[in-house]
Structure 1
Amino acid sequence: MLDLALLGFIALMLVLGLKRPFLWVLTYIYIDLVMPQKIGWGIITSPSLKLSLIAFVAAFAGWLLLDSKKGSRFTARQGMIVVLLLWCLMTTFGAQFQEEAWLKWDWVWKALVFAAFLPLTLRTRLRIEAAVLFIVLAVGTIAINGGLKTVGGGGGYGTLRLLVNENSGIYEGSIISTVAIAIIPLALWLARHGTIFKPDWRVWTFTAGLIFACLLIPVGTSARTGLVCAAVLGVIMMRSVRYRFVYAGAASLALLAAIPFLPASFTERMGTITEHEGDQSASTRVAVWKWTIDFAKEHPLGGGFDAYRSNSFTYQTRAVTGTGASQTVEYQTVTESGRAYHSSYFELLGEQGYFGLGLWLVLNLLGLWHMERLRWRFGKRSGRDGRKSWQWGLATALQQGHVVYLVGAAFVGIAYQPFLFMLIGLQCALWSYVKRTEAPQNRACSRPRGAGQALPQPAE
C-alpha cells in the first residue's frame, strides 16, 4: 500500500507536468531529498525502476522542449558550478580508489548539474516560492517523522530510525540535524510571505509544529553538530528580528525550560563537545584532519573521491575517572585506518585538492555576499518597508540557512549534498530575478524628469 501511494504521487506529478513542465523540476527535488525509492518495500525499491533518473531527464527535457525560456539567465556562480563539476570529473579519472570514486561520482554529478540548471527554471516569484516550498516540505517530511519518534522515546545516537532503515545520506544523524535546522528560516519566510499557502492561523500552526520537529532532530539523533547549528541560527537570527532583547530573553527562557526534559543520553553526549580528547569520535576527527593536511601537501590536486580510504593513524584518548582528589587520568592508544573526513572542508581538500577547495569556498562565500547585497538593497528602502519585502525576507532566509549549513559542514562530510546545491540554485535564481526585474525600474528612475513615464515592473 505504501508503494502504491508513493508511486501514485510521483505518477500524478509526472502527468500534471505535461501541462506544466515546471512540476517535473519539483518532482525531482522531492525524489532527490526524500528518496521514496528507499522508503517502500516492493516494486518502488526495484533497481530497474530509476525514479531519480526519470525525474531528472523529465525536468531537463521539459524545460528544453516545452517550457518558456523568457527571463532565464546563466550567472557566474552557475559557471563556477560547471567548473567544479569538470574538476571533480578530472580527479575521479585519477582517483586512487576507482570503483568507490565512480560510485560517488554517480550522484555528485547529478547534484552539480541540477544546481546549475535549477536557476534557469526559476524565472518568477511563484516558481521560486514553489521550489522553496517543496524543499521545506521534503525535509519536513523527514523531520516530522523523526520528531514524533523522539517525543515517543525512540531517539538515541545512531539509533533513531527515520523513514528508511539506514544511516546514510540525508538520513544520517548529523546530516539531517544540520539540514533540519537550516530549513527553519525558509519555513518562516513561507509563513510570512507565501502566496501558494497564504499566511493564516493554519499556516502558522503548521510552521510552528515543523520548527519544533526540526529542533527535536538534534535531540533525537544526539548529534552534537545539530546543537551547534541550532545555537548559531539563534545568534544570526538576531540580525533580522525587530526586538532583539525580547527575542534573546524568550530564547533563553525556552532553553532553560527545555533542559529538564532532555534525555540523559543527549546531555551526556553534548558534554563531550569541549573535551575532544575524552571522546573517541571527536579524537578520530582531529586525527583525520591532520592526516588530510599532510595528504594534500603530497597530492595538491587531490586524491579523488573517497581518498580517505588510504589513511592510517594512531592517537591517544584521555579519560578522567573518579571525583575530587581521587581523580585518575587514563590514556589509551588507538590505531585506525580508512576513516572518513568528518568535515566538508577537509573532504574537499583531500578529494579535490587546493583548487577544488578554493573553488567550493568561493562559490559558497559569494552566495552569502550576494544575499547580503540584496539585504542592503531592499533594507534601505525604509519608505517602502523594504525589510518587509519578500525579496529581503528570502535573501535573509537563504543566507541564514546557508550559514547554518556551512557551520554543520565543519563537522560532517556534506560538501556535495543535493540540499546545499539546491540552496545555491535558489540564491542564483533570486539574484538573477532581482537584477532582471529591478533593472527597468532603475533605468526609469535615472531618466530626466519629463522624459517619459516610468517603465512598468515585469510581472512576477
Structure 2
Amino acid sequence: MRDILVTLIVFGFLPTIFKKPHRGALMWVWISVMNPHTQAWGFATTFPFAAIIGGVTLLTLIATKEPKNLPITSLTWIFIAFVLWMNVSTVFSIYPELVYDQWSKVMKIMLMTFVVIMLIRTKDHINWLIWIIVISLGYYGVKGGIFTVVGGGVDMVLGPEGTFIGGNNEIALALIMTIPLMHYLQTISPKLWVRYSLTAAMMLCALAALGSYSRGALLAIAAMVAFLWLKSRHKARMGALFMLAIPPALAFMPAQWTERMDSISDYEEDGSVQGRFNAWWMAYNLAKDHPLTGGGFEVITPALFWAYAPNPTDIHAAHSIYFQALGEHGFVGLGLYLLLGLYTWQTGSWIIRNTKKLEEYKWASSLATMIQVSIIGFAVGGTFLSLLYYDVPYYLMGTMIITRVLVEKELKQRALSLAGKKGKGSPRHLGTLEPSPPQPITRDSS
C-alpha cells in the first residue's frame, strides 16, 4: 500500500512541474530529505523516484520561459567555488579509481541545490520549501517522539535506513535543526490549530532527539537553547519556558540514558570518542601532506590510516564535518566550507538588520533568525558527524540567498517609490533643482 501511495504522489504531481517548475524543486527536496520510499516494503524501495523527478525538473528548467537566472550574491560565489574545489580535489585524489560513486552522489546534490535556488523565487515558494523540509523530517520526529514516550525512552530512536539520517546521531541532529523551522512556521500561520500542532510536533521532535541517545545532539540542543535565549526579546519569559520544559523531559528519560550522557565528561575513557579523535588526527596528518586538495572523496582506507593515524588499527569515518572537509578537500576546501557557513550567517544578519523594523517583512526576519538557530545546531552537532554532504544545510543556505535577493529587490523598489512620491509632492519638482536621491539600502560585505 505504501509503495502505491508514494508512486501515485510522485507521478500525480509530475505533470504539474511543466506548468509550475518550482514544484519540481519542492518535489526533489521532499524525495531527497524524507526519502518516503524507504518507508515502503516493495518495489518502491528501489524505484528511481529521485532520478525521475530530477530529470523532469531539469528538462523543465531548460524549456521554461520563466526567469531562471541564478541569484548572485557573495554567498553564491563561495558556494560555486566550494563545488568547483571538490571537483579539483577529485582530479588529484589519492585513489582516483574509487571516488566516482561518491563524486557522482555529491555532485547530484549540489546540482539540485543550484536548481532549487534558481526555481524558488517568491515568498510563497520559500514558505512551501520550509514546509516541505519540516514535514519531511517532522514525520520522523513525531514518530520517534511517540516511540520514546510509549517505550519510556528505553529503546534508541533511529532514522530511515540507507539515508544520510539513518543513524541515531544523524536523525537526532536533523530533528534538532527542524525545531527552529517549525517555530518559524508558527509565527506566520494564522490558524490556531496549525500553531498548536507545530508545538506538539516540536515537543515530540525534542523527545525523539533525546531518545536517540546522541550525546552530540544534547550539546547541539544546549547551544541552540543558549542562542535562542540570547536572541529573544523576552529573556525572562523564554528562560521560564525552558526551565519548565527541559527538566521534565530530562527526568523522563531512563537511568541508562543518563549514564550515557554523563559519559561526556569521561571522554578519555570512551572508546567511541577516542575513535573520533583518531580519525581527526588522521585527517589532519593527511591534509598536512596534501594541504591544497586533501585526499579526495575516499580516504577511509587501511593504508591511509596506517600512514597517518595515531592508532592505525582503529579505522573510522571522519565523524566531523570539519575534519571530513579537511581530509577530503584539504585546507582550501575546509576554508571554503567555513566561509560558506560564515557568509550564510552574515546573509541572515543582513536580512534581520534590514527588516526588523518593517512589519511586512517580519516573516523574513523571523525566517533568517530561525535558520541561524538551525545553523548553530548543525555547527555544534556536525562537529561529531560525517554530514558534510547532508543536503538540508545547503537548502537552508539557498533559502538565505533567495530571501536576501527578494528582500533587497523589494526594499529598493520601495525606496524608489517613496522617493518618487516625495519628489512629486515637493516644490523642487517644479523648479530647476533635481529631486533628492533615494536613500541607499544598508549592505554588508556578504
Same-fold status (TM-score > 0.5)? yes
Q: Which amino acid aligns with 2:149?
A: V
State whether residues 154 and 220 of structure 1, in contact with CA within 8 Å, keep that contact through their aligned partners in structure 2. no
Name 2:392's counterpart in structure 1.
419
State whether residues 158 and 212 of structure 2, in contact with CA within 8 Å, keep that contact through their aligned partners in structure 1. no
Distance 1:15 1:237 in 2: 42
Name 2:326's counterpart in structure 1.
349
Residue 67 to residue 36, structure 1, CA distance change in 2 (3 Å): farther
Instruction: Give the superposed CA RMSD.
Output: 2.5
Q: Which amino acid aligns with 1:346?
A: F
* 3-state SS, counterpart of residue 389 of structure 2: coil
State whether residues 279 and 318 of structure 2, in contact with CA within 8 Å, keep that contact through their aligned partners in structure 1. yes
Residue number among 393, 401, 407 corresponding to 2:380 in the alignment: 407
TM-score, reference length from structure 1:
0.86
Distance 1:212 1:101 in 2: 41
Residue 288 to residue 80, structure 1, CA distance change in 2 (3 Å): same
Matched, 1:287 2:264: no
Distance 2:65 2:169 in 1: 38
* 3-state SS, counterpart of residue 208 of structure 1: helix
Matched, 1:311 2:305: yes
Name 2:432's counterpart in structure 1.
none
Name 1:339's counterpart in structure 2.
316
Deviation of 1:286 after TM superposition, in Å, equals 1.5
Deviation of 1:393 after TM superposition, in Å, equals 0.8
Name 2:24's counterpart in structure 1.
24
Deviation of 1:448 after TM superposition, in Å, equals 8.5
Matched, 1:375 2:369: no
Deviation of 1:338 after TM superposition, in Å, equals 2.8
Residue number among 263, 275, 285 corresponding to 2:254 in the alignment: 263
State whether residues 378 and 389 of structure 1, in contact with CA within 8 Å, keep that contact through their aligned partners in structure 2. yes
After superposition, give the CA deviation of every residue in 1:12-51 in whole Å (9 maximum; x if it has no partner): 22133233222111110011011133332222123xx321
Q: Which amino acid aligns with 2:173?
A: T
Distance 1:71 1:299 in 2: 36
Moved more, 306-315 or 86-95: 306-315
- Unpaired runs of 5+ residues, structure 2, are 427-436, 439-446
State whether residues 25 and 120 of structure 2, in contact with CA within 8 Å, keep that contact through their aligned partners in structure 1. no
- Unpaired runs of 5+ residues, structure 1, are 316-333, 456-460
Higher fraction of helix = 2
After superposition, give the CA deviation of every residue in 1:153-212 in whole Å (9 maximum; x if it has no partner): 28668x5344x345x512222122112111111111112114xxxx22210121012101
Name 1:175's counterpart in structure 2.
170
Residue number among 136, 139, 155 corresponding to 1:138 in the alignment: 136
* 3-state SS, counterpart of residue 389 of structure 1: helix
Residue 143 to residue 302, structure 1, CA distance change in 2 (3 Å): same
Higher fraction of strand = 1
Identity of aligned residues (%): 25
Moved more, 281-290 or 439-448: 439-448
Distance 2:366 2:250 in 1: 31
Q: Which amino acid aligns with 1:354?
A: F
Deviation of 1:304 after TM superposition, in Å, equals 0.4
TM-score, reference length from structure 2:
0.88
* 3-state SS, counterpart of residue 265 of structure 2: coil
After superposition, give the CA deviation of every residue in 1:212-237 in whole Å (9 maximum; x if it has no partner): 12102222210011111111111111
* 3-state SS, counterpart of residue 169 of structure 1: coil
Deviation of 1:137 after TM superposition, in Å, equals 0.7
* 3-state SS, counterpart of residue 384 of structure 2: coil
Name 2:45's counterpart in structure 1.
45
* 3-state SS, counterpart of residue 313 of structure 2: strand
Residue 15 to residue 264, structure 1, CA distance change in 2 (3 Å): farther
Name 2:265's counterpart in structure 1.
274
Residue 169 to residue 155, structure 1, CA distance change in 2 (3 Å): farther
Q: Which amino acid aligns with 1:117?
A: V
Deviation of 1:6 after TM superposition, in Å, equals 1.1
Deviation of 1:305 after TM superposition, in Å, equals 0.9
Residue number among 51, 71, 74 corresponding to 1:73 in the alignment: 71
Moved more, 402-411 or 250-259: 250-259
* 3-state SS, counterpart of residue 221 of structure 2: helix
Matched, 1:222 2:221: no
State whether residues 72 and 123 of structure 1, in contact with CA within 8 Å, keep that contact through their aligned partners in structure 2. no
Residue 435 to residue 338, structure 1, CA distance change in 2 (3 Å): same
State whether residues 82 and 113 of structure 1, in contact with CA within 8 Å, keep that contact through their aligned partners in structure 2. no
Deviation of 1:367 after TM superposition, in Å, equals 0.8
Moved more, 18-27 or 119-128: 18-27
Distance 1:440 1:246 in 2: 38
Count the aligned residue pairs.
424
